[in-house]
Structure 1
Amino acid sequence: MPGIKKSYMKPRIVALIPAHNEENSIRDCLAGLNDQLLPKGVELDVYVIADNCTDRTEEKAITAGEEFNLNLKVIITENNKLRKVGALNAGWKLLYGDLLDIYNKQLTEHEELYKQSIKAVLGMDADSRLAPNCLTYLWEGLMSARNIGGVMAKYTMRMPKKKSLLSKHDVYYEEKLASGEYGGPVARWWTHQQKQDMASWLLDLQYHGGSTYVLGGQATLFRPEALQEVLNHNKLDGPWQNDSDVEDMLLTWQLQKSGWKTLISPKGRCFVDAMRSYHTFREQRNKWNSGTVDLLTNKDLSVQTRHKGKIWRNQMKLLSDLVIRAMFIVLLSVALATDQFYWSWVWIIPIALASVLNVILALKTPMNRLIDVILAGLLISPELYLWVNLMTFSQVWLGKLSANKKDGWANQYAAESGKTSSKLLQGIILTIVAIAAGCYLCFAYQDFLTSSRVQEAISPYLMTGWIALTYLTIIKSLMMIYQIWTLRGRHTA
């Protein structure tokens, strides 16, 4: 009608960045947002949620926002007991209102207009950094179809700089070392294993169409309408739930349940921090894996994913890896102790396939190093990394039988902050002692163990065990051939 003014606000992307004591990383995170070229006519607003911080996260965020000329606001949370979930929901409530507000506050006309202008919500961690143009790629993916609820960036672990580059005479030596930017050979090797593991996962998802069963919290662009539907359908006060240690996976499954597609971007990249030590890695993977298993087995959550069969197959793959190695160790030990070991060149086939597969994965891992490719070909790195994952797998499933549920977030944070330590050294010592004791007993009772009576008694069981192991190895070899075949494509990690 003539004479009526219409208000207008540019479409925008809103970034929600929960940050708990992230004074060392928040500037780098915001620098990554400053690198982005926004879609034409679209604005970016950044909300840093300083969650229960006891350091200078708020001050560093404000300073960086001014330095990079970002439209930034810091939200302060106190006594938030829901950690990352509570922080993200605090940001959401600021934008869309608090449904638990007993005073039923209505949004002002400007707030309502602002809410309508939000076309995408970027959820990201304070220790992540978007590669240039990542936000554009995520936006293009989200806007490519009406039914896409979220698009995740491809994650690449940042390699620590060489510790040897630091001069011990530098007055900032200890401060630079504590920043996490530098690491020794072990930390750098460990980071590559995680990077290669992530690359393998991303390549597999892309080969099978790009759909993902988890929109990682490190950097995902959501459609607000999809988040609102999850909130309304599940009668929540915010899209993120604290019912699982893997809140990002739970949200992804809820989006899929409502009919939304969840994809990974083929081009958008985000650099994330790896776990620099065995202990922190174990605690992180314990949290991830226990959360995944809980989602698979907890019927009370009432969530499903089209990828459920794939996740179960991954669990069965780890179980088969564990069984094969345990059987091989037992059978080999008994065969050697009773002098009934016979070498067969056929066993070279699965070893050669594993070597080829891991070399291809190492070469397809972004920013790979020659030493990593060599160690992958020799199967040293993949085998050590696999054993760590197998220990985590066993611990998680044994934990399902326990009545005491562990707080995965608390355990991971305690490990990262140095409040707990690993028992790796004790485990290695016990293993060496056990092997030495076994060798001594075999040598001491050699005549008895190699007697014809013992050999005849053991032989049928050995034969049955080797046959069963052979069939399992054939199945694993076929799976490796299939994986090598899938890696021939144009997809990049």
Structure 2
Amino acid sequence: MRWPRCSRRSSPVPRSAASQRFSPSMIPRSRVLSPRGSSPGSARSSRRSTSRRWHHRVIPVLGGQFSLFSVRALEEVAKRENQATPWIMKSEVEDSLLSLQIKSAGYETMLSASARAYVGGMTTLRSLDGQQVKWNSGAVELMRSNPRHPSLTQRWMEHISMFFNGYNRFAFAFLLISSLSISAFEFYPIWIAPTVVAILLNLKIALKIRSRNFRDILFAVLFVPAELYLWVRIGHFVRSWWKSLFGGQSDNWAAQAKAERGRGNAYLVAPIIEVLVLAVCLFVQFKLPIAVQTAVILPLGWWSLAVLTVTQTCIMLVSLLRPTHGAKV
């Protein structure tokens, strides 16, 4: 993964130290940059000069795996926010929250174009579900508490995109089964175009991986593995918003730790609910008269799905044709 140049905590502060006042000695000196990478002042001029010097890209929200900080920035954040430490350990997305606070203090958060920090990922669906639901739930809470913060625009776009991805696939499954049940389905070759564009975009992303292997390329061109993983992500998305809106308070840190120990079956909730909702919708559909299905529901459903699919395909084409200038991840 890429290595943010001046951003989040370099090493976690123990929970027992939460009551202590922040001091630079709490941060390992070997992992902290000098303030020149994140000097306060004009954001526009700072962005230009720093980008030219380090060839980095300004990003709104930093990754949480490994980062370097300006001690001055952390001190100012702790002082401005009246916190014992620069980051709040109780937050489920303390890295994102710290990113917003750093930018609000007048500093830049940047991503290195060359440095990498290789970290391990989750190896099971159970542990992946615990991690992603925790992250997404925290992100939703952060977005709802700061809905107009400019650094969260990308987050909002990602969640809006995930909503339409979920609707698109659910609607296609519903309309396909409904049409086949009354022999009203007609296939048009143009429908293959979105799939082809998606495969090419996945392949472009795979080729940008610096340490890619044959499995990365195969994952991209086969399409089905990427599609199945997207369904898993849609489940994380739905569960996170549900927990944020209706679930009340819960300890997602403990839930993730439980999942990583191989306990709990929460990762099965989303696919079961998806199948049940689809079954209920189909049951209601089959109870309607054939004339209503063929004259109202199916035409309107396929038309709305076509408009959404064309829009998403155009967005993918823009991403596919956008030059990368040799960038690697």
TM-score of the two chains, using structure 1 as the length reference: 0.55
Contact 1:355 1:379 in 2 (8 A): yes
Report the Cα offset of residue 90 of structure 1.
6.4
Q: Aligned partners of 1:211 and 1:429: how far apart in 2?
A: 39
Report the Cα offset of residue 369 of structure 1.
2.2
- The farther-off stretch of 366-375 and 324-333 is 366-375
SS at match of 2:157: helix
- The structure 2 residue matched to 1:404, chosen from 248, 257, 279, is 248
Structure 1 residues 478 and 429, CA, compared in 2 at 3 Å: closer, same or farther?
A: closer
- The structure 2 residue matched to 1:414, chosen from 258, 272, 276, is 258
Residue of structure 1 in register with 2:185 after alignment:
341
Structure 1 residues 425 and 147, CA, compared in 2 at 3 Å: closer, same or farther?
A: closer
Give the structure, 1 or 2, with the largest relative contact order (CA under 8 Å, sep 6 or more).
2
Q: Aligned partners of 1:320 and 1:427: how far apart in 2?
A: 18
- Taking every aligned residue pair, what percent have the same amino acid on both sides? 27
Report the Cα offset of residue 377 of structure 1.
1.1
SS at match of 1:271: coil
SS at match of 2:325: coil
2:302 is the counterpart of 1:466: yes
Contact 2:127 2:262 in 1 (8 A): no
2:128 is the counterpart of 1:281: yes
SS at match of 1:400: helix
SS at match of 1:268: strand
SS at match of 2:118: strand
- The structure 1 residue matched to 2:67, chosen from 197, 203, 220, is 220
2:89 is the counterpart of 1:95: no
Structure 1 residues 427 and 236, CA, compared in 2 at 3 Å: closer, same or farther?
A: closer
Report the Cα offset of residue 243 of structure 1.
5.2
Structure 1 residues 421 and 467, CA, compared in 2 at 3 Å: closer, same or farther?
A: closer
Report the Cα offset of residue 213 of structure 1.
2.6
Residue of structure 2 in register with 1:249 after alignment:
96
Letter in 1 for 2:220: A
Residue of structure 2 in register with 1:290 after alignment:
137
Letter in 2 for 1:278: L
Structure 1 residues 399 and 213, CA, compared in 2 at 3 Å: closer, same or farther?
A: same
- Please list, as runs of the form range in 1=range in 2, the aligned pairs for 1:95-134 lying within 5 A after superposition: 95=25, 121-122=31-32
SS at match of 1:310: helix
Larger helix percent:
2
- The structure 2 residue matched to 1:211, chosen from 58, 66, 86, is 58
Report the Cα offset of residue 373 of structure 1.
1.2
Q: Aligned partners of 2:226 and 2:40: how far apart in 1?
A: 39
1:135-165 per-position Cα deviation (integer Å, ceiling 9, x unaligned): xxxx59x6356349xxxxxxxxxxxxxxxxx
Report the Cα offset of residue 212 of structure 1.
2.1
TM-score of the two chains, using structure 2 as the length reference: 0.80
Report the Cα offset of residue 417 of structure 1.
2.4
Residue of structure 2 in register with 1:143 after alignment:
36
Contact 1:121 1:224 in 2 (8 A): no
Letter in 1 for 2:39: R
- The structure 2 residue matched to 1:234, chosen from 66, 81, 85, is 81
Residue of structure 2 in register with 1:100 after alignment:
none
- Please list, as runs of the form range in 1=range in 2, the aligned pairs for 1:252-271 lying within 5 A after superposition: 252-271=99-118
Q: Aligned partners of 1:16 and 1:352: how far apart in 2?
A: 42
Q: Aligned partners of 2:256 and 2:140: how far apart in 1?
A: 17
State the aligned residue count: 304
Structure 1 residues 329 and 457, CA, compared in 2 at 3 Å: closer, same or farther?
A: closer
- Please list, as runs of the form range in 1=range in 2, the aligned pairs for 1:155-166 lying within 5 A after superposition: none
Q: Aligned partners of 2:94 and 2:273: how far apart in 1?
A: 37
Q: Aligned partners of 1:428 and 1:461: how far apart in 2?
A: 25
- Please list, as runs of the form range in 1=range in 2, the aligned pairs for 1:360-379 lying within 5 A after superposition: 360-379=204-223
Report the Cα offset of residue 426 of structure 1.
11
Structure 1 residues 487 and 288, CA, compared in 2 at 3 Å: closer, same or farther?
A: farther
Runs (4 or more) in structure 1 with deviation over 4 Å come to 89-94, 118-122, 425-432
Q: Aligned partners of 2:168 and 2:73: how far apart in 1?
A: 43
2:154 is the counterpart of 1:310: yes
- Please list, as runs of the form range in 1=range in 2, the aligned pairs for 1:45-56 lying within 5 A after superposition: 51=14
Structure 1 residues 430 and 233, CA, compared in 2 at 3 Å: closer, same or farther?
A: closer
- The structure 1 residue matched to 2:312, chosen from 473, 476, 479, is 476
SS at match of 1:261: coil
Contact 2:60 2:109 in 1 (8 A): yes
Residue of structure 2 in register with 1:204 after alignment:
none
Contact 1:254 1:304 in 2 (8 A): no
Report the Cα offset of residue 394 of structure 1.
0.6
2:8 is the counterpart of 1:17: no
Q: Aligned partners of 2:274 and 2:200: how far apart in 1?
A: 33
SS at match of 1:399: helix
Q: Return 5+ residue gaps in structure 2 as ranges.
A: 1-8, 42-55
Q: Return 5+ residue gaps in structure 1 as ranges.
A: 1-14, 19-48, 52-79, 97-114, 123-138, 149-208
Q: Aligned partners of 2:156 and 2:71: how far apart in 1?
A: 30
Report the Cα offset of residue 121 of structure 1.
4.9
1:119-145 per-position Cα deviation (integer Å, ceiling 9, x unaligned): 7754xxxxxxxxxxxxxxxx59x6356
Structure 1 residues 323 and 487, CA, compared in 2 at 3 Å: closer, same or farther?
A: farther
Q: Aligned partners of 2:105 and 2:37: how far apart in 1?
A: 19
Report the Cα offset of residue 491 of structure 1.
1.1
Residue of structure 2 in register with 1:326 after alignment:
170
SS at match of 1:491: coil
Residue of structure 2 in register with 1:353 after alignment:
197
Q: Aligned partners of 2:155 and 2:130: how far apart in 1?
A: 20
Letter in 2 for 1:464: L
Contact 2:21 2:84 in 1 (8 A): no
Residue of structure 2 in register with 1:187 after alignment:
none
Residue of structure 2 in register with 1:22 after alignment:
none
Q: Aligned partners of 2:270 and 2:73: how far apart in 1?
A: 49
1:206-238 per-position Cα deviation (integer Å, ceiling 9, x unaligned): xxx722233333211111111111111111111
